[in-house]
Amino acid sequence: MDFNFIQIILVFAWVFIVAIDQFDLLESLYQPIVTGAVLGIILGDLETGLIVGGTYQLMTIGNMPVGGAQPPNAVIGGVMAVVFAIGSGLETTAAVGLAVPFALIGQYMVTLLFTVMSPMMSVADKMAEKGDHKGIVNLNYLAMAALGLLFAVVCTIGMIGGSAMGKVLTDVFDAVPWLMTGLSAAGGMMRFVGFATLLRIMLSNEHWGIYFTGFALATIIGYIPALSGSALLLIAFIGITLALSDFQTNVAIRNAAGSNVNGGDDDGI
């Protein structure tokens, strides 16, 4: 089935919104159950949109954006599944299968954007130095718009070119497998730059042991699968205890030692 110009424009606009929505805005418009219905209305077959959206939603319930790793992108996958189901009258599962290459491209797009935005943080640093708060705001919106555009363009290509375009597009990336693997690996390592920056500022030489204790505890707890969700909370409890006892000890020492220097100045806690 061919789509008319207005439908393509409306899908473009909706994909632009939900691509951003997967990380920002209401963080719920992008869910297949909602997107399926909206695309169904745009493409003139609400019932199919509802069914495909609901089915795809049930399939993705166990597949939430937890922890920061980038799985094949369910947003773009859901959109294309509905488009193919309505456009070609396919069963939901078949439509979802055809959408998989697009989900992979979505994953690549997100990886690329998050990589490109990393050096942009130095631009943000310069803005902060100048007190340019409007620049920070614009940078945030600019990155959101870039994500929306990337996804909208891919989906439009898929709508016009049909499901075969998915294969063509992934072939482009598959021709240079080391590029996406390399970018993903580099992307996974870049957070260590953020950690190192924090350490450079926060870490005094007497606290190296504390750093390694945090690392050791997280590693131990991380190896217990049942605790993967609560690891950082448990670790925070231990850390708070350590810090609190250090705080209380030092306050007590100062109160004991300082009582004759600036007596009466502090009343402890």
Partner 1 sequence: MASNATTYTNLTPAKSLDKATLNKMVWRSLNLQGSFNYERMQANGWLYSILPGLLAIHGEGTEDLKTSMGHNLEFFNTHPFLVTFVMGIVLSLEQQKADINTIRAVRVAAMGPLGGIGDAIFWFTLVPIAAGICSNMAIEKNIMGPILFLLIFNVVQFAVRFFLMHWSYELGTQAIELLTANAKEFTRAASMLGVFIVGALTSNYGGTALNPNLALENGTTIQSILDGVLPKAIPLALTLGLYFLMKKHKWTPVMCIGALLVLGILGALVGIF
* Stretch 49-88 residues interacting with partner 1 (CB under 8 A): 50-51, 53-55, 57-58, 61, 64-69
Q: In sequence order, what DSSP letters do the residues of 148-196 get, joined into one string? A: HHHHHHHHHHHHHH-THHHHHHHHHHHTSHHHHHHHHHHHHHHHHHHHH
Give the footprint of partner 1 on residues 25-44 (CB under 8 A). Answer: 25-29, 31, 33-34, 36-38
Q: How far is the CB of 29 from partner 1 (least distance, A)?
A: 7
**Spatial distance between the Cα atoms of 99 and 88, rounded to a whole number of angstroms:** 13
Q: How far is the CB of 160 from partner 1 (least distance, A)?
A: 26
N-terminal to C-terminal alpha carbon distance within the chain: 74
Q: Which stretch binds partner 1 (CB under 8 A): 8-16, 78-86, 127-135, 151-159?
A: 127-135
**Spatial distance between the Cα atoms of 9 and 80, rounded to a whole number of angstroms:** 15
Of 44, 161, 182, 258, the one binding partner 1 by CB under 8 A: 182
In the bound state with partner 1, the residue whose beta carbon lies nearer, of 168 and 253, is 253
Give the footprint of partner 1 on residues 2-21 (CB under 8 A). Answer: 20
197 binds partner 1 (CB under 8 A): yes
In the bound state with partner 1, the residue whose beta carbon lies nearer, of 29 and 149, is 29
DSSP state of 26: T
Q: What are phi and psi of 73, to 5 degrees?
A: -75, 115
Tokens 């992008």 label which residue? 30
Quickly count: other Cβ atoms within 10 Å of residue 25's Cβ: 13
Tokens of 225: 């699968």
Give the footprint of partner 1 on residues 224-253 (CB under 8 A). Answer: 229-233, 235-236, 239-240, 242-244, 246-247, 250-251
In the bound state with partner 1, the residue whose beta carbon lies nearer, of 1 and 116, is 116
For CA atoms 115, 117, 118, 120, the dihedral sign is positive
- H helical segments located in 43-73: 46-60
Q: Site mask, partner 1, residues 206-225, x = CB under 8 A?
A: -x--xxxxxxxxxx--xx--
